[in-house]
Amino acid sequence: MGEHEKLNYVEFPAADLAATKAFFEAVFAWSFVDFGPEYSAFSGQGLDGGFFQADSCSNTANGAALLVFYSNNLEATQAKVSDAGGNIVKPIFSFPGGRRFHFTEPSGNEFAVWSDVT
């Protein structure tokens, strides 16, 4: 059950829904529930959401919001992202409070991973 007036769900476009699902299953151990051939939902990841079939993507260069994962081993997570077919668009860099990197998944949606562990 959602909390009153709190963020509850996020949706992303996916040009290649099967590849996007396979990527998140491999890197972050997500599982999905399909709702027809053009929508797949995930839950239990800090924020529930889904991917819908579309030719667009979510990218900060176009003004999209950036969803950021946390990792206590940034290098290992970056390697998992690359090994699963993700594209590192900003390699690990420092910022006040920690380090992070940005990547796109197979459908082109941009995400980031950060760590306060140096």
Q: pLDDT tens across 6-63, in order?
A: 999 999 999 999 999 999 999 999 999 999 999 999 999 999 999 999 999 999 999 9
How many helices and strands in the chain, by DSSP H and E? Answer: 2, 8
Q: Above 90 in pLDDT, residue 4?
A: no
pLDDT of res. 2 = 76
pTM for the complete prediction? 0.94
Q: DSSP alpha helices (H): ranges in the chain?
A: 17-28, 74-83
Q: Measure the CA–CA gap between 59 and 42, rounded to whole angstroms.
A: 20
